Chain A
Amino acid sequence: MPQAGLKTIIALSFVLAVGFLLVILSCALWRSYYPLLVVATYVLAPVPNWICGHCANPDDFVESTGAAVLDLGRFCTGFLVVMGIALPIVLAHSSLISVPAMIMSVIGGLLIYGTIISFTMFFQEEQEF
């Protein structure tokens, strides 16, 4: 079990490095550093969920205020995730960045976000034991 966890961590960090490589390459090749915003978006994306998860008591089914706070966090996270895809498209549509840079930054951003999500999932799975 620890070896599988180690392999998972190595694979995840590799994917994370590839994602960062794609995003930074998409900035540096065309000398316009707007796609770096994608990284900031995806790093910030799980934060509302995390904060609202700490604010609310999820076992509280009688009072629906806890569920409302959780829903607010989910809403903001969904907003930020789609923002990470929409931002390069907006920039490319106004020719602030080129279309290959858009494609590279979208793929890189999805890799980064996927790494963050799967790392959180693995971490929570370990916490349940």
Chain B
Amino acid sequence: MEEDRLWKFRRPEWMNSVWARSAGVYAAGGLFSLAFYTLLDAAVWSKSARNGSDLHVGFVDWLPFIFSSLGMLIINSVEKARLSADSYAYSGSAVAWKARVVLFLGFAALAGGMAGGVTICVLRYVVPGVPFPAMGMGVENVVANALVGLSSVVLWVSQNMEDEYAYNLAL
């Protein structure tokens, strides 16, 4: 396992502990919750008395977040161990290839959600020149999708930590 390492820098030792792994998973849940409540804040604010404009959050504003969450679900449902399988090990049913295709779909949904958030922010709020308190709804959309991406990165990294830890324990 040592000589087929790709990167120059080693992962620090403390990252392989169980504590760091579960902290990473908790943090991912927290970030996802932050993303959801950022978007919910935009929706609630748009219906509240504070919203002076006639712009309102509808289903279209939720669509990028739905795609981002779907992408996150797909990415983190794939078994990571199958991904690094070399062509001999699982060549029977080509699991590694399938895993890569599914993972590609997941990342496409995640990036599509991010792009959709930016699109909604630009098309509905920036181009008509909405003033700022209402503009916040568009900004919150972008922030929410970015947080979903960040959350799935954190979850991915901490799950990879888990694999490393299990490997160390098995030897």
A residues at B contact (CB < 8 Å): 61-62, 64, 67, 71, 74-83, 86-87, 89-91, 93-96
Contacts and interface: CB of A to CB of B under 8 A. Distances in A.
A83 B29 CA distance: 10
A64 B81 contact: yes
Contacts, number: 81
Interface in B124-171: 155, 159, 162-163, 166, 169-170
Nearest to B155: A75
Contact of B29 (A62, A79, A95): A79
Nearest to B167: A61
Interface size range of chain B in the complex:
20 to 34
Given A74-B25, A96-B48, 7 more contacts: A64-B163, A78-B30, A78-B32, A80-B33, A83-B33, A86-B33, A90-B44
A77 B23 CA distance: 11
Given A61-B166, A86-B34, A78 B29 contact: yes
A67 B36 CA distance: 25
A74 B22 contact: yes
Tell me the dominant secondary structure on chain B's binding face: helix
B79 A75 contact: no
B30 A81 contact: yes
A83 B30 CA distance: 8
B32 to A, nearest CB: 6
A9 B56 CA distance: 50
B86 interface: no
A96 B166 CA distance: 48
